[in-house]
C-alpha cells in the first residue's frame, strides 16, 4: 500500500502512514526497507514527530542497531514512556542489562514514579543478571 502511495504523486504519506509503515517494517524484520522509510521521513523533516521518532527508535532497537536507536532517542525533543520503553527493551534484548537498568532508573527520575510494570524490556533474565551486581554500578 505504501509503495502505491509513494508512486502516486497526488497522495502524500503523512506522519500516521510513516508510523504504520515503520511498525510493519519492524514486524517483518525488514531493516533495509525501514532505513529507506527513515530516509523519506528525514527528507520530509518528520523525525522530530513523537510517533515517528518512537517508531524509528523501536525499529532500530529491535533490529539491533542500537547506535541508530540512541541517535533517534537523543534527537527527540519530547520523550514519553513509550519511547523510553523502546530503547530500554532494545538495550536489554541485545545483552546490555546494566545499561537497561540505568536507563530505567533515569526514566523513573524523569517521570517520578514510572513503575516496573510500565516497562516491558527490563525483566526476566536481564533484570536478574543486572540485580546481582553492586548497587554502585546502577547510578544513572
Residues 107 and 73 in one domain: no
Note the pTM of the prediction, 2 decimals. 0.74
pLDDT, one tens digit per residue, over 44-84 is: 999 999 999 999 999 999 999 999 999 999 999 889 999 99
Q: What is the pLDDT of residue 9?
A: 64
Residues 109 and 135 in one domain: yes
- Look up the domain containing 87 and give its range: 80-140
Residues 33 and 84 in one domain: no
Residues 40 and 105 in one domain: no
Reduce the secondary structure of the chain to three states and give it as a string.
CHHHHHHCCCCCCCHHHHHHHHHHHHHCCCHHHHHHHHHHHHHCCCCCCHHHHHHHHHHHHHHCCHHHHHHHHHHCCCCCHHHHHHHHHHHHHCCCHHHHHHHHHHHHHHHCCCCHHHCCCCCHHHHHHHHCCCHHHHCC
Residues 85 and 138 in one domain: yes
Residues 16 and 73 in one domain: yes
**pLDDT per residue of the chain (140 residues) written in tens, 0 to 9:** 555 555 566 778 889 999 999 999 999 999 999 999 999 999 999 999 999 999 999 999 999 999 999 999 999 988 999 999 999 999 999 888 899 999 988 888 887 665 555 555 555 444 444 433 334 444 44
Domain count, the chain: 2
CA–CA gap between residue 76 and residue 25 (Å, rounded): 21
Amino acid at each position: 500500500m505504501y509503495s502505491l502511495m509513494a508512486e502516486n504523486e497526488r497522495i502524500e504519506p503523512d506522519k500516521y502512514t510513516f508510523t504504520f509503515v515503520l511498525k510493519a517494517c519492524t514486524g517483518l524484520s525488514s531493516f533495509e526497507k525501514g532505513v529507506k522509510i527513515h530516509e523519506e521521513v528525514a527528507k520530509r523533516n518528520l523525525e522530530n514527530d513523537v510517533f515517528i521518532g518512537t517508531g524509528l527508535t523501536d525499529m532500530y532497537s529491535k533490529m539491533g542497531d542500537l547506535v541508530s536507536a540512541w541517535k533517534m532517542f537523543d534527537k527527540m525533543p519530547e520523550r514519553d514512556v513509550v519511547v523510553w520503553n523502546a530503547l530500554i527493551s532494545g538495550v536489554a534484548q541485545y545483552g546490555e542489562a546494566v545499561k537497561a537498568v540505568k536507563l530505567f532508573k533515569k526514566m523513573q527520575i524523569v517521570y517520578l514514579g514510572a513503575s516496573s510494570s510500565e516497562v516491558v524490556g527490563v525483566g526476566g533474565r536481564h533484570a536478574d543478571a543486572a540485580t546481582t551486581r553492586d548497587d554502585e554500578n546502577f547510578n544513572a
